[in-house]
């Protein structure tokens, strides 16, 4: 039976078309995944079903929920539908809860606002719901506030709120994008269980094709506000019709080939590094407690080697990155580059710093918006004693821009004139311009759409060929690390729990944590096996 039928749904915001003739169905108990890259309109489709689209938008077409036309419902009628018949889970659990109300109140509110129970009953049901989503009473009393919970726990609260009245349809908008892989696996399992248990329809919005393939009964692929392809998961994967769908899947599993690595002496040596942070004082007259972010970490990175560093959020990989860059000093242990310490006498050692550069995650925050590209990418020249000037300088700028696939004319532009992927190319140009011995890639492709990510990975492989790069690639994304590194370090709670050749570690992990990471990560299905099995 069809629960939700979207037909020719179009949406404009202030006259700008966002959705064009979107059509698909969801049956009761069915999981439908809407996927696509940023700007595809997948989230807006979900908001339109809730009639929570932004002000100044105009909607046309038809959304039939349970044979009732949603688009002609009054706002008052919609308030009766939201939370009661349709529940919704959002992407950002850290901000989705009201910080000044207890989790019990917030879950009970769904029940109370629909007049479904008395205050006391609602609180009792909130308790049951929190137990059901994996937040047991002894550790998570109703009186907890959101800031006392982790991201995954908060997402469970949001789910409890959404399913409190057993809605017939649950909409989940990128519910696990902000979470670590192990948490992601748990949340997806929870959602799947709830769908089966309650017989709900689930509309899940996600950009992650591996999640789509594992979870969905049917897939809807969107691009630029239009549905390009839709079908049952197995059939669609086996026989992709639209070139965009094929490109999307190919880019998601994109592999690159790195040049052979040669044996060379160690370039970066980290010996027993320890970094403590002071926690806020809990007692007035006692010394503040400390949190050990990096605990006795040792490893070496050889010249010409591509080393990966993986771990979940809070494992200490960012702290370690900052310590290597000489942005923060370690309390004990040593970090040496080419035999020289990165910190000399409590001051960053400039002669070491000029041998290192970094590429950050956020393509939008990595550049001063007021400077032109030539000034942006030449900033590392500040480290050199006699930086190039005049035509030599402009030649270097042109060379770098060409090397990363841009044009020398781009030097005069401002950063807002570039897309996310182009900005990441500029960031690489900035890192390369002083020919550093070592480059750190700190989640450098994590914020990019899959198609752009594939291009940047290709660029990286190319640059390895031409410039013989040595890099440390820090990421939470195992599939990316697997393809662009020779060796990998696995970090957990400030310690390196496993290290070894990338293929060996991923193929036969020895530490239980590595194993749980690899198991939790959703995997893209092997498309060829799919085609054969059908």
Residue 138 engages other proteins in binding (rule: CB under 8 A): no
Tokens coding 249? 């899947």
Backbone angles phi, psi at 326, to 5 degrees: 75, 20
Tokens coding 159? 């789910």
Exactly one of 61, 80, 141, 341 binds other proteins (CB under 8 A); which one? 80
Neighbours of 190 (CB within 10 A): 18
Q: Which is nearer to other proteins, 343 or 381 (CB)?
A: 381
Minimum distance from CB of 230 to other proteins (Å)?
25
Residue 421 engages other proteins in binding (rule: CB under 8 A): no
End-to-end Cα spacing for the chain? 26
Q: Write the binding mask 6 to 45 for other proteins: x where contact by CB under 8 A, - elsewhere.
A: ----------------------------------------
User: Could you tell me which stretch among 155-163, 296-304, 462-470, 505-513 binds other proteins (CB under 8 A)?
Assistant: 155-163
Closest CA to 467 of 445, 439, 490: 439
Is 107 in contact with 135 (CB distance < 8 Å)? no
User: Could you tell me which stretch among 251-259, 281-289, 305-313, 492-500 binds other proteins (CB under 8 A)?
Assistant: 281-289
Pairing of strands 347-348, 356-359: unpaired
Residue 361 engages other proteins in binding (rule: CB under 8 A): yes
d(CA 248, CA 524): 12
Residue 430 engages other proteins in binding (rule: CB under 8 A): yes
Residue 84 engages other proteins in binding (rule: CB under 8 A): yes
Sheet holding 57-65, edge to edge: 16-27, 2-13, 57-65, 68-69
Residue 98 engages other proteins in binding (rule: CB under 8 A): yes
Closest CA to 207 of 525, 491, 449, 524: 449
Minimum distance from CB of 382 to other proteins (Å)?
5
Residue 327 engages other proteins in binding (rule: CB under 8 A): yes
Q: Which is nearer to other proteins, 83 or 421 (CB)?
A: 83
Residue 358 engages other proteins in binding (rule: CB under 8 A): yes
Residue listed under structure tokens 């010394």: 287
SS (H, E, C) 431-462: HHCCCCCEEEEECCCCCCCHHHHHHHHHHHHH
**For residue 146, what is the DSSP state?**
G
Pairing of strands 2-13, 16-27: antiparallel
Residue 75 engages other proteins in binding (rule: CB under 8 A): yes
Residue 354 engages other proteins in binding (rule: CB under 8 A): yes
d(CA 483, CA 516): 20
Q: Which is nearer to other proteins, 220 or 439 (CB)?
A: 439
Burial of 159 (0-12, 13-18, 19+ CB in 10 A): buried
Residue 346 engages other proteins in binding (rule: CB under 8 A): no
Q: Kindly identify the residues of this chain, within the stretch 233-272, that bind other proteins according to CB under 8 A.
A: none
Exactly one of 5, 261, 353, 393 binds other proteins (CB under 8 A); which one? 353
Residue 387 engages other proteins in binding (rule: CB under 8 A): no
CA torsion, ordered 360, 362, 368, 371, to nearest 10 deg: 90
Residue 81 engages other proteins in binding (rule: CB under 8 A): yes
Q: Kindly identify the residues of this chain, within the stretch 108-127, that bind other proteins according to CB under 8 A.
A: 109-110, 113-114
Residue 162 engages other proteins in binding (rule: CB under 8 A): yes
Residues that bind other proteins (CB under 8 A): 50, 52, 75-76, 79-84, 87-88, 90, 92, 95-101, 109-110, 113-114, 145, 147-148, 158, 161-162, 280-284, 325, 327, 348, 350, 353-354, 356-358, 360-362, 365-370, 379-383, 416-417, 427, 430
């Amino acid at each position: 039976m069809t629960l939700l039928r979207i037909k020719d749904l179009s949406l404009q915001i202030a006259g700008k078309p966002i959705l064009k003739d979107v059509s698909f169905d969801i049956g009761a108990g069915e999981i439908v995944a809407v996927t696509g890259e940023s700007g595809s309109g997948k989230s807006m489709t979900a908001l339109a079903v809730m009639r929570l689209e932004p002000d100044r938008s105009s909607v046309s077409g038809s959304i039939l929920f349970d044979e009732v036309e949603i688009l002609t419902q009054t706002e008052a009628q919609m308030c009766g539908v939201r939370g009661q018949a349709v529940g919704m889970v959002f992407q950002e659990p850290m901000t989705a809860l009201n910080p000044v109300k207890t989790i019990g109140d917030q879950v009970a509110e769904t029940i109370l606002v629909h007049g479904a129970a008395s205050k006391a009953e609602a609180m009792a049901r909130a308790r049951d719901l929190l137990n059901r989503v994996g937040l047991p009473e002894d550790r998570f009393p109703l009186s907890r506030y959101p800031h006392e919970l982790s991201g995954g726990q908060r997402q469970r609260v949001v789910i409890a709120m959404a399913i409190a009245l057993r809605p017939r349809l649950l909409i989940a908008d990128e519910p696990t994008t902000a979470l670590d892989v192990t948490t992601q696996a748990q949340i997806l399992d929870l959602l799947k269980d709830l769908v089966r248990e309650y017989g709900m329809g689930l509309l899940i919005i996600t950009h992650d094709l591996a999640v789509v393939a594992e979870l969905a009964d049917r897939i809807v692929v969107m691009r630029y506000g239009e549905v390009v392809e839709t079908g049952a998961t197995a059939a669609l994967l086996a026989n992709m019709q639209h070139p965009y769908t094929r490109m999307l899947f190919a880019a998601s599993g994109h592999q690159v080939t790195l040049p052979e690595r040669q044996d060379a002496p160690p370039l970066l040596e980290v010996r027993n590094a320890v970094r403590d942070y002071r926690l806020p004082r809990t007692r007035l007259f006692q010394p503040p407690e400390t949190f050990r972010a990096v605990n006795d970490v040792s490893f070496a990175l050889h010249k010409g080697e591509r080393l990966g560093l993986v771990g979940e959020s809070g494992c200490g990989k960012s702290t370690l990155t900052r310590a290597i860059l000489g942005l923060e000093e370690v309390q004990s242990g040593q970090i040496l580059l080419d035999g020289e310490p990165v910190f000399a006498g409590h001051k960053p050692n400039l002669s070491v710093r000029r041998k290192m550069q970094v590429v950050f995650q956020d393509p939008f925050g990595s550049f001063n918006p007021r400077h032109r590209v030539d000034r942006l990418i030449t900033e590392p020249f500040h480290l050199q004693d006699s930086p190039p000037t005049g035509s030599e300088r402009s030649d270097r700028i042109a060379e770098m821009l060409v090397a990363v696939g841009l044009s020398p004319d781009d030097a005069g532009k401002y950063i807002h004139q570039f897309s996310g992927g182009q900005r990441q190319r500029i960031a690489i140009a900035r890192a390369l311009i002083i020919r550093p011995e070592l480059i750190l890639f700190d989640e450098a492709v994590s914020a990019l759409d899959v198609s752009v990510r594939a291009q940047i990975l290709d660029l990286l492989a190319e640059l390895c060929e031409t410039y013989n790069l040595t890099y440390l690639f820090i990421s939470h994304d195992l599939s990316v690390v697997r393809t662009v590194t020779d060796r990998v370090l696995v970090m957990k709670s400030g310690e390196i729990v496993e290290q070894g050749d990338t293929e060996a570690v991923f193929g036969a992990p020895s530490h239980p944590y590595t194993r749980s990471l690899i198991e939790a990560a959703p995997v893209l299905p092997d498309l060829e096996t799919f085609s054969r099995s059908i």
